[in-house]
Chains A and B, each alone.
Chain A
Amino acid sequence: KQEVTQIPAALSVPEGENLVLNCSFTDSAIYNLQWFRQDPGKGLTSLLLIQSSQREQTSGRLNASLDKSSGRSTLYIAASQPGDSATYLCAVTYNTNAGKSTFGDGTTLTVKP
């Protein structure tokens, strides 16, 4: 079964700290991997999309890496701010799934002032 796992389920850090969120997947034959942000009671907002041929993507203070051989992706957030507090979800599109994405359960991040 093709699964996506995110550990830890929750993370609390002081403002200004650099942090890493983890995503692991069970099959290296992926089409792409995407990181989303979800605020309470809201929909999902795409942060970064990494194609299978890429190793990383950057947007502002965010950097996402992809290592297909080990089945891992990390989302690095630099100089965290209270406004970064949200749930971060990882979604993997596997080659065999005709465009369907498999989501992890998310990591809920709290950045304390």
Chain B
Amino acid sequence: NAGVTQTPKFRILKIGQSMTLQCTQDMNHNYMYWYRQDPGMGLKLIYYSVGAGITDKGEVPNGYNVSRSTTEDFPLRLELAAPSQTSVYFCASSYSRGRETQYFGPGTRLLVL
């Protein structure tokens, strides 16, 4: 099992550009999450999904969009990138709500200039 994979590892965007961060898990997990982590801080939830076709907002959803067409994939879309979106983005998955641990991907480091 590859676990949770994320691409790209690092990206530089100009203000106003858009991009999609990819996340794939091969553990047949129902729950998937997108977090962002700013320097020296904990993780803040952007969006989450409880299954294919079902998504909901987390703590900091503004400026982002998600979709979940399959169990395996949970892409995060950034529209009109802003410097405030400079961060490290982590995707995670779990089988159910909280009974099992969350598994994290290696992260995508995004710099918006």
Contact = CB atoms under 8 A, between A and B. Distances in A.
Interface of A: 4, 6, 9, 31-32, 34, 36, 42-46, 49, 51, 89, 91, 93, 98-101, 103-106
A34 B100 CA distance: 10
Contacts, number: 66
B102 interface: yes
B98 A44 contact: no
A34 to B, nearest CB: 6
Contact of B106 (A43, A91, A101): A43
Contact of A51 (B35, B90, B99): B99
Contacts of B105: 43
19 contacts: A4-B42, A31-B97, A42-B107, A43-B105, A44-B43, A44-B90, A45-B104, A46-B102, A49-B101, A91-B102, A98-B56, A99-B31, A100-B33, A100-B58, A101-B33, A103-B42, A103-B43, A104-B42, A105-B40
Given A42-B107, A43-B90, A99-B48, A93 B43 contact: no
Interface of B: 4, 31, 33, 35, 40-45, 48, 50, 56, 58-59, 90, 92, 94, 96-107
A12 to B, nearest CB: 16
What 7 A-B pairs have minimum CB-CB distances, sorted nearest first?
A99-B97, A103-B42, A46-B101, A43-B104, A44-B104, A103-B43, A105-B42
Output the residue of B42, B92, B102 with the most chain A CB within 10 A.
Answer: B42
A5 to B, nearest CB: 10
Nearest to A89: B42
